[in-house]
Structure 1
């Protein structure tokens, strides 16, 4: 049986800022991961495509405030930077 994916370890190289900011990014990345895994059956960020992140922003955050969407966008940018993708 494989171990669960460690999002905190995955983002460790690109996380900067205060402890609370890093924790927020990790928490939001875990939420993004869970939603994409539930909808698309893609368990790790290495399997994600740009359409998965766009889907999350448009569909899952549609009824959230502008501030919430902005903070999730920052987390998605960190994920894209870690994956070395030019999705932003």
Structure 2
């Protein structure tokens, strides 16, 4: 039996802000982790590629509000920072709006 990955411990070194903000990032990171694990069987962030996070932003959040998409984008950027990856994600990543606006 394997031990469950501790997302809070994983993010501890890069979390800043209020306690509520930190809890939101951890909660959202756990949701991202669960979605990627279900789709690609990649249980830990160390196994992720940029395409997995782009997929999450584009496919799993397309029906969410712009504010929700933005907060998840902040969490994705935090995950990339913790992984020490040069991955860039922009405000329009995954947000599909009419007339090319995001």
User: Which TM-score applies when normalising by structure 2?
Assistant: 0.85
Shift in Å, 1:2:
1.7
**Does 2:40 align with 1:52?**
no
Aligned structure 1 segments of 4 or more residues deviating by more than 6 angstroms: none
Equivalent residue number for residue 43 of structure 1? 43
Structure 1 SS opposite 2:16: coil
Shift in Å, 1:45:
0.0
List gaps (5 residues or longer) in structure 2. Answer: 89-102
Equivalent residue number for residue 81 of structure 1? 81
Shift in Å, 1:70:
0.2
Output the aligned Cα RMSD.
Answer: 0.4
Q: How many residues align?
A: 88
1:1-88, aligned counterparts within 5 Å?
1-88=1-88
List gaps (5 residues or longer) in structure 1. Answer: none
